[in-house]
Structure formats: structure tokens, C-alpha cells
Structure 1
Amino acid sequence: MKHRRIRYGGPRQQPKRQLQRETPVEVLSLSLDGRGVARPEGKTLFVRDALPGEVVEVEIEKSGKRFDEGRAISVITPCTSRVEPACPYYTQCGGCDLQHLDPEHAIALKQQELLTQLAKRAKIEPESVDAPLCGSEKFGYRRAARIGINQRDSGELLMGFRRRGSNKLVDIEHCAVLTPKINVFISALRHTLAQFERIKHITQVEIIEGSSGLEAELRATRNLSDELSRELASLAHAHEVNLSVRAKDLPTRTLNANPAATKLMINDAPLFKFELEFSASDFVQVNAEVNELMINRVLEWLQPKPEERVLDLFSGLGNFSLPLAKRVQQVTAVEGSATMVERSLENAAKNGCSNIQAFATDLSDPDTEAGWLADSYDLILLDPPRQGAAEIIQALKDHKPRALAYIACDPASLVRDAETLVNQGYRFSRLCVADMFPQTHHIESLALFERC
């Protein structure tokens, strides 16, 4: 019997793959993930950092049967909408991947690509396309963020976001898209943490800017020392931050209380103003101005009437439930997080909305025997996460609301779900894109479906 030789140590080193260079190619369009699309010799090529109308030299990073992927290593002929990125971390950070594109042109390209995918994949198109919803700020707009924290063996502190295509952090002193107030606090937090020799057990901080301060929660693998806790509490007090720490397997501990910081104002022009309470781990729309524009566009589309009943799915803190409740007979709000359902009912009570009932359930696996699902509704609103709402749409197939509004944060999910809704007998009457995330490829979309 022949025995194999025993090998010690790590696996045999494979020769480094040689990257190919593509002859200059013309970029034809922008994909939904923000990459340029070229078709040299008929094969699709996705190119990072390339824009429609440009001629670029490409380094091929991955080759497949159906398409190749690469990055632009030189721009031979730039397009007129190319701009110089404002952020010094742009080439490293995985956050803002379209800073090289003029924001006004970016929203038009995103809308066009969404329409193209609806026609190509689902064979449908909206009856009308409304003007995009755009905020006044293209930088300094982001009011919520999760910032990673790490420490090298040398003691050097790292605070920032993930690198492009990596889990490692880019150390960032200032983020161009975060609000000024968040940037100021992050700078002060960095200074405080840098004074301590060992802080590797602190892994991240989640921050949301409320109407009157910041709500922040530190995550840690173990409890903080008394000295560090005191320093952080002093820092939070100075910056009017409601600060807590959540250590692994331990109850959340408040280091500094500022209840005023845990409130968001929503201006439902021109009739009402609402105040939503939240915590740092809750989901909130990151762009306050665009969120208000979006709420008012949905109200304009749905035209809710006093005698009507509304089903609000993926309802969160009550972002849409509260404005709708002021205009209709009853709102039924359904959300996956029991904590957020409880908070949404508290928000309803504090804002004088006694006509909201709320339920916690997994909408990706809806209980078809649930009482709220058996009720009838005049209007339905869907605001799902990235995976969309395929399962609940199927569960709602026998419902006959006069209109259904769908807010999508993933275009591919909207394309799939819009096709299903049209097949169920809805008219795809209106579409609108919302520039919730300037400087990035991400796009928020609003779609209105009406019964034929």
C-alpha cells in the first residue's frame, strides 16, 4: 500500500493570478450597483469607477461565462458629469461609491436604469414617472451611522467604515456625508478613547441624530472599566448625547441620559407635526429631508379619506402610520420587531393617534390565519427591507384595496414584486425615485399600484 507523504505547515502557495488588461472600452450605461457597463465584443463587462459615455482602460479582476468584472485604471475620455471626489478616503472607503459622478446626473441615471430593468426583467412600465425627490444637501445629510472601532496591537486606535471589498476598517477622521453634529462627536469620542491603553473590547458605536441631540450606543465584548465609563459619561454630557453601552451578555447600561436626544420630528406639511421616540439600534431613514418629501408624496398619491382603513406593513416606528392615522378611520401597523411595535404604539399615544393597532410578526413568513390579515383594507402600504415583500404580497393576493404604495430600498426587489402585483390585477400607475443616499449607488423608489 502506497502511503502519502505527510506535509506540515500551511497549504501550498498558489501562484498569484495575473490580472488581464482590456483594450480601451466605451461605457454604455450605469448598473444598479453603480458600475459602468460596457460590451466589448458583445460580452457584458462591469467596470468600477467608470461612467456612461466614457472611454476607459480596464483591469479585469474576475472573468465568468456570462460577464466579466473589472475596474477603470485610466479614463481616456471622461464624461461631462465626472467630478472630483470631495472625500480624501474615497478610493479606500466602501461607503460612497459614486462621488466621482455629479449628484444631479446620478439621480437621472439611477431612474433610467430602474426603468430599464422594469422593462427588461418584468416587461412592465409605469403609466407616469414623477419628478425625483431630492434634498438640498448632497453632503452632511446622513443622520444615522454605525461606525466600527478597533485597535491595533501597537495601541493605535481605528474608527471608521469598512474598506472596499473588505471587512477591515478605514481609519476616518471626518466623514463628508455624516451630519456636522455627528462628526463633532465622533472626533471627541476618538480623542477620549485614544487616552486609554486597551480598548479593543469596544467594537462599534451606533449613532442617530435626533431633533435635539444625539442618541449613541457603544457595543463591547465585555463591560467597560469604571474609569472609562466616567470619561465617556463626561464626554456625552458635554455634547448632549444620550449614551449607553451594550456589553455582550449584559444588560444595556446608560452612561449619560438626555431624553430630548431620542426624538425625531416629522413635518407632515402642511397639517401636522409628529415626534417619534427611538433608540440607537432602531431603523430610521437616514436622510431627514428626503424622508419628509417621501411621506408627503405617498400621502399625495394615496389621497386617504376619513372613512378608510389602512394596512401599513413593515411599519417601524410609525414613519407612515402616524401621518396616515390623522387622515383615516383606522391604521393597522405590522412590523417584525416586537420592540419597535411597542415603541410605535407609544409614539401613537404621545401624538394623539388612538386609531392605530399594531402587531409584531415575521412578514417573510406571514401567518395566514392572523386576524389582521383576514380584515379588509382600502389602502395598503409596504416599506420592506432589501429582500422585498414577496411572501406577504402573495398572502395579500385576494385583498382588493383601491391602491397600494410600495417603498423600495432595493431596485431588484421592486422589479420582482411589481411584476407580481401587476399579475395580481393592479395597474402600475406611478413611479418616483428618491435620492435618499447621495454620493452612493443606493436608490429609494416609490411605486403606486391601483386596482384595475
Structure 2
Amino acid sequence: MGRRHRKKIPQGLFKATIESLSHEGRGVTHVDDKVVFVDNALPGEEVEFNYVSTRAKFSEGVTENVISASDQRIEPGCEYFGYCGGCSLQHMSAEAQIEHKQSVLLEQFTHLGNVTPKEVMPPLTGPVFGYRHKARLGVKYVIKKERVLVGFREKRSPFIADIKHCEVVHPDVGHKISDLQALIENLSIKDQIPQIEVAVSDNGIALVMRHLAEFTEDDLDQLKSFEQKHNFKFYLQPGGYETVHRLDESDKSELFYRLDDHDLNIYFQPIDFTQINVEINQKMINLALELLDVNENDNVLDLFCGVGNFTLPIARKAKSVVGIEGDEGLVQRAKHNADMNNIDNVEFYAADLADFDQDYDFMKKSYNKILLDPARTGAKEIIAALNTKNVERIVYVSCNPATLARDAGILVNEKKFKLKKAGVMDMFPHTAHVESIAVFTK
């Protein structure tokens, strides 16, 4: 069998008029009847680009010069845009970004679910910089540079971007990238630290440092000094998630975020899943409760409930709530949150929501309203298994418009619900990530 040869990448600059945007936010054009996806290009623009890859059915390129700019084009807010892979849409106005995301959602409803919402809700928007309260930053000691790099990956590369600050991560961390680099460079195991997990709470900033070798006493002293100076809370992770522990073992405080509208403190561990964008999360919870139309007679099922982000606000208004989550640790945190907030009309259970071979007790109960907030893979299995005979209303929060559209098709075309309203939420500005919400009624 002959060796497969890579297609030769065309060299030089090529002119093109951008026809549309892909779902990922890349410009779409055609050169010699072949589709080319062009980074940093907007519809209607005439650009010069160079090729970075070519395949049988499409090629990829990067804009080098904008000959004729779109009205949607703005100056990026970060000097590293285009090089760092943390953002992909900073060249596009915030209004145009959310409009594009809404069009992606509606297109997916039509093509994948064969459904159309009766009403498209106005988008939920919030801050476009400094919004990330959770992040995973890569760390790499580069021998040739004799420097430690901390940040996101380079665009189209596995290498860590050489940056000094990040404008989308909470500024108390994003503006201290250089300080973190200098700290790690002075540690004895600077080449054995692959990543830092960031979790910003209302009572502190947690930095979970993954390390592949043991710290020396001097290393630990430097970490303690650094966290005191910058008001951080270091957690160490020598192995799996179960090994995460506080550097300062005398600090027994718990991370939490406040939901003022519902008089709740939600406690969590730094590696737990929590929403990245705090302001959008507050608005999203309020919108979900409005769409669910919760009242004191409702028995509500909250699927993929996590630490109780939706469950506990719902419990403030409903007769009863059952929260289901696949991660036993998150279930324990959710129960703890109910206790800490003196809520007694809620139950939490751990269950594999993609496997219904087991006869779960929660499946035997009757609910009149359901909220779902699944991972990117969606909720196809649970929707198929649920008895929705008595269910009046379902609110579906999604981080993937494709699986939301697929599941909407099941709810509408098989379960006989109506897709009453849907809309997008700007959870991840400057990225192609689409967060959305939909309500289904009988």
C-alpha cells in the first residue's frame, strides 16, 4: 500500500470575499470551487489570507490583511488575539457575536430537530471581558527560553501561548499571569507543573496546582508567601481529583458564590463544575425559574443538577424538588448546600443519566415540571426514558445547540410538546461557544 502524501499547502497571499460565517465563527469563502474557512474574517469583507492547511473537501486559512472591512469589525481588546487560542471572535462586535450565535441556534433547530420556536427571546448579555471565573491554564517550562509559560494554548497548536496577561479571565488572575510565571520559575519542580485550575469565588480565588513531583519545603514557603501577598488560596493536586487539598491545612473555609435574588450561598470545591460567567449565571437562573413558572404546588425534577445551582432556587418556590446528578461528589455538595441554606423540600440522588437499566426510585415519582442542564452530549437517553404524561413544562439549558436541537425534535415530534420559546445566553463572549435555553409546554 502506498504512503499517503499530504496535500501541498498553497504559498503566498490570496484574495477572497467572505460569504458567511461558519458555526465556529470562521469566515467562509470559495477558491476554485473549494470551501475555505478563514480565521478572523467577517461576512462581506474582502481579505488577503494565507493557507494553513488543505484537505480533500476544504481548506483553512488565516486573514493577513483586511482590504474592505465589515461594519461588524472592531479592534480586539487583547494584544494576543489571533495568537492565543483562548478567544476566536474578538475582532467581531459583541452585538454581532450574539446575533451570530442566535442564528446558529435557530439553524440547528431547523436542520437537526425539524422544529421552530414560537418565540425567540432576547439574548442574555453581560460583561465581555474579565468574565471567566473558572479556567484551566496550561503551564510549561520551556528550556530554550529558560522561562515558564502560563496561559491557554496557542491557536492551532499544542504549545502554551507566551502571554503576560489575559483579558477574559477574572482580572485578579488574568492580570497576574506574569507574577504566576515568576513564582513557578523559582520553584525546584518548575518543569513538573503542567496546569493550574482557576476558581474564583465570592470569598477567595482558588488556584489548584497540578504537580508531578513533590514540592520542597522552600517551594511550599514560596507558595504560602505568594498566596498571602496576592490573596489567593493554593490547592495542591499530586494525583487525581481526589488528591486535591488545601496548601494551608488550617484554612477550613469553603468556597461559595452568592445568589442574592434567592438568598442562597452555593458552596463548592475548586474542581467542581460551576458556571464560568457569574453575571450570566444569575440572569440564567432567574430566566429558568420564570420559564418554568414555578409555584408552591409544583413537584419539580432537576436533571444534571450539579451542586444545586438551579435546584435550590427552584426549591425556594416549589412544593418539592428532586435533583439528579451523575457525580457522587457533586451530589454530596448539593445536599450540603441544602443543609447550609436550611432547605428541606429537596432530595438529591446520584444516577447515571445515560443508563436506565437500573430501576431508580426517582423514576417512579410524579413530576409536573422538569429542568435539564446536560453536558454537551445532551439528554437524549433520559428524555426517551422519562414518563412525561403529567409533565406540563420542561426548561432545557444547553451548552451545545446541536444536541439541544436533536433533543427538541424528540420532545416535539415524539413526546408531543410544543417549543414555546428559545434564546441564547452570552456565557462565553469572544468564543464560538453557544449557551442557550428553551421552554417546552404541552
- What is the TM-score when the length of structure 2 is the normalising length? 0.92
Question: Is 1:262 aligned with 2:255?
Answer: yes
Question: Is 1:117 aligned with 2:117?
Answer: no
Partner of 1:173: 164
Aligned residues: 436
Q: Is 69-78 or 252-261 further displaced after alignment?
A: 252-261
In 2 relative to 1, CA 59–415 (structure 1 residues): closer, same or farther, beyond 3 Å?
A: farther
Q: Is 287-296 or 148-157 further displaced after alignment?
A: 148-157
Contact 2:9 2:51 in 1 (8 A): no
Question: Is 1:238 aligned with 2:207?
Answer: no
Partner of 2:147: 156
Contact 1:331 1:356 in 2 (8 A): yes
Distance of 1:311 and 1:396 partners within structure 2: 11
SS at match of 1:189: helix
Contact 1:240 1:258 in 2 (8 A): no
Q: Is 245-254 or 314-323 further displaced after alignment?
A: 245-254
Q: Is 395-404 or 287-296 further displaced after alignment?
A: 395-404
Deviation readout 1:132-182 (Å, 9 max, x if unpaired): 0001x2111111111111112254211111111222101221100111222
Of 221, 244, 253, 1:252 maps to 244
Deviation readout 1:51-76 (Å, 9 max, x if unpaired): 12222344444455554433333322
Contact 1:33 1:441 in 2 (8 A): yes
- What is the TM-score when the length of structure 1 is the normalising length? 0.90
Provide structure 1 residue ranges, at least 5 long, that are not aligned to the other structure: 1-11
Deviation readout 1:177-230 (Å, 9 max, x if unpaired): 111222355443322222235411111111111112112211111221111012
SS at match of 2:260: strand
Alignment of 1:135-146 (within 5 A): 135=126, 137-146=127-136
Partner of 2:299: 309
Partner of 1:376: 366
Partner of 1:223: 214
In 2 relative to 1, CA 414–67 (structure 1 residues): closer, same or farther, beyond 3 Å?
A: farther
Distance of 1:201 and 1:242 partners within structure 2: 20
Partner of 1:321: 311
Contact 1:312 1:333 in 2 (8 A): yes
AA of the residue aligned to 1:255: L
Larger RCO (alpha carbons 8 Å, 6+ apart) = 2
Partner of 2:393: 403
AA of the residue aligned to 1:380: I
AA of the residue aligned to 1:46: F
Question: Is 1:80 aligned with 2:71?
Answer: yes
Partner of 1:333: 323
Deviation readout 1:27-86 (Å, 9 max, x if unpaired): 233222111233567654432211122223444444555544333333222101101212
Of 104, 126, 131, 2:122 maps to 131
Q: Is 367-376 or 75-84 further displaced after alignment?
A: 367-376
AA of the residue aligned to 1:244: Y
Distance of 2:7 and 2:23 partners within structure 1: 31
Question: Is 1:365 aligned with 2:355?
Answer: yes
SS at match of 1:341: helix
Contact 1:54 1:77 in 2 (8 A): yes
SS at match of 1:381: strand
Distance of 1:380 and 1:21 partners within structure 2: 55
AA of the residue aligned to 2:121: D
Alignment of 1:88-127 (within 5 A): 88-127=79-118
Task: Give the CA deviation at 1:416.
Answer: 1.3
Task: Give the CA deviation at 1:97.
Answer: 0.3
Partner of 2:265: 275
Question: Is 1:182 aligned with 2:176?
Answer: no
SS at match of 2:92: coil
Contact 1:188 1:235 in 2 (8 A): no
Distance of 1:16 and 1:40 partners within structure 2: 16
Question: Is 1:432 aligned with 2:423?
Answer: yes
AA of the residue aligned to 1:195: N
Contact 2:7 2:55 in 1 (8 A): no
Distance of 1:366 and 1:58 partners within structure 2: 51
Distance of 2:178 and 2:61 partners within structure 1: 35
Contact 2:168 2:174 in 1 (8 A): no
In 2 relative to 1, CA 153–368 (structure 1 residues): closer, same or farther, beyond 3 Å?
A: same
Partner of 2:439: 448
Of 17, 28, 40, 1:37 maps to 28
Alignment of 1:287-302 (within 5 A): 287-302=277-292
AA of the residue aligned to 2:124: L
Q: Is 178-187 or 165-174 further displaced after alignment?
A: 178-187
In 2 relative to 1, CA 355–185 (structure 1 residues): closer, same or farther, beyond 3 Å?
A: farther
